[in-house]
Structure 1
Amino acid sequence: MPARHLMAGAVICLLAGTASAQDNPLLPSPTWEELKGDIIGDITPASATGLWHLEAPARAQDAATVPLRIRQDDPASPVTRAVVVVDENPAPVAGTFTFGSAMHPLDFELRVRVNEYSDVRVIADTTAGTSMDGAYVKASGGCSAPATKDAETSLANMGEMRLREFAPRSDGRQEAQIMIRHPNYSGLQRNQLTQLFIPAHFIDTIKVTQGDEELFTMEGGISISENPVFRFLYTDNGAGDLIVTATDTEGNIWRKPLSKSGS
């Protein structure tokens, strides 16, 4: 097939994927009606329209690494806290995030597991109050998908961290990506040799700072993907390294300064 036809097809697919992500609202969810009291109590979140929005694929290419992006639309109402929920997952709350002022206006990406067709929602606190946005994602098997490496290799590399930085944006803000090596076992995966379930073992907290200034924190669960990756914009305060501290459910603690010129 001529190269120009391949390129045209790729552009069409990209545009179709973008349109699906933009026109992909939450669906009525009896599961959420049962969950919401435990997650947000008696709060009734407002619509996030005009304040911020969640970008998610209508159909995930890989249910074990579904990309989500939270983007702020109104700089006057910063997002200070966000709870990411996958309604139909065995442990629906993927993570609770807090954001420091250097992260405003928020532009933050993460990857989650989606176990079956589900609404994926974010409930966020802003200076305008609590609001919610989300999308319906078609994916299945994300929580039980086998790890990409064997257990011995995964455990040997556990806790390794890398920082990648990109060219500053036109507004002077810096774009960065942090990756942490960890199998993030969900408790639903099987050892490929014994076929026994692998016990849950995952990163439960992450804190990222520049100097003494907090960028973001996470309290996470089994719905965060293997080898967690976070991509975000922030205002560089000139303090030097980004410092990442992570803990997991086995009591491991990792703390590493990551040079802004690379790990």
Structure 2
Amino acid sequence: MLGRYFRLLGAAALLTGVIGACPLPAAGDEAYDPWPGLVQDIFNNRPMNDGSGVIAIEMPARAEDAAIVPVTLRTKLAPTDNRRVLTITLVIDHNPAPMAAKFELGPDAHVSEISTRVRINDYTNVHAVAELSDGKLYVTQTFVKASGGCSAPAAKTPDEARNQLGEMKYRQFAGSDEAPGDKSREAQIMIRHPNNSGLQMDQLTQLYIPAFFINELRLWQNDSPVLAMEGGISISENPHLRFTYVPNGAGLFRAEAKDTAGHVFRNEWKVDTSGS
């Protein structure tokens, strides 16, 4: 669980940015590379293989808004490859809680692309680590220039956020005509939630807002798993996932989300099974 990789400390610790499994470098220490320590803490020092032919990560080189930085993870296994991607872990090296999210791909959903939005606290490498059915880990990385995303003020007031807490929307996109015979579809889940990072300050009280975020999201076609996410403070306010998968003919799409306060949110939608 993500709780293993970070701790939420008091305001004094927040002021110094001391959150997470690894100590942060002193200000201006540009040579500091947290990745070796993160491999040990998050992946138990398992060997990391070149993932350039397995997983791709796409992010802007310089983010327009550090609080909502788009990220897309795309699997690259050839159709003839017998291996399967089991999980993808997204690590933002210099964030206070580096492990941003872990995605578990449904065994029969053939998820090939996942997009979401994240907070970036400082100029950083971002790693995507795919675990395959061969038992090995494969890693790729990119570099993003952004800062201040984890402490950026929330877009809504606490009262507004509470009134809409847990509202879910599902959107299904038309199938692509670019590849004949491609049965994959795109869908998107959006959840109303402040996803407070614990680093944001209440502008009225001048006190830090406690961390409060979606830490689990699960999606199904009827009862067949599509995608699951363990999330942390790096996932942006009002989390959303856009993903590509292969429908199994189910007429119902279901979602269940849980947050760190113990709330459980559920919804389901009838879906178009025509493939158009």
Question: Normalization by structure 1: what TM-score?
Answer: 0.85
Aligned-partner Cα distance in 1 for 2:76–2:147? 31
Within the alignment, does 1:60 sit opposite 2:63 as a pair?
yes
Give the Å deviation of 1:179: 0.5
Aligned-partner Cα distance in 1 for 2:53–2:139? 11
Is the deviation greater in 175-184 or in 237-246? 237-246
Aligned-partner Cα distance in 1 for 2:249–2:203? 47
Counterpart in the other structure of 1:158:
165
The one-letter code sitting in structure 2 at the alignment partner of 1:42 is N
Aligned-partner Cα distance in 2 for 1:190–1:258? 37
Q: Which of 127, 130, 141 is the aligned partner of 2:133?
A: 127
Q: Which of 36, 47, 53 is the aligned partner of 2:50?
A: 47
Q: Which of 82, 87, 107 is the aligned partner of 1:81?
A: 87
CA RMSD of aligned residues (A): 1.6
Aligned-partner Cα distance in 1 for 2:66–2:270? 32
The 5 Å alignment of 1:160-179 reads: 160-170=167-177, 171-179=182-190
The 5 Å alignment of 1:88-127 reads: 88-104=94-110, 106-127=112-133
Give the Å deviation of 1:28: 7.8
Aligned-partner Cα distance in 2 for 1:173–1:243? 18
Counterpart in the other structure of 2:222:
211
Within the alignment, does 1:141 sit opposite 2:152 as a pair?
no
Q: What stretches of structure 1 of length at least 5 have no aligned partner?
A: 1-26
Counterpart in the other structure of 1:3:
none
Count of residues paired in the alignment: 235
Aligned-partner Cα distance in 2 for 1:219–1:255? 16
The one-letter code sitting in structure 2 at the alignment partner of 1:203 is I
Q: What stretches of structure 2 of length at least 5 have no aligned partner?
A: 1-29
1:103 and 1:233 in contact (8 A); partners too: no
SS in 2 for 1:101: coil
2:129 and 2:138 in contact (8 A); partners too: yes
Percent of residue pairs identical: 44
Counterpart in the other structure of 2:35:
32
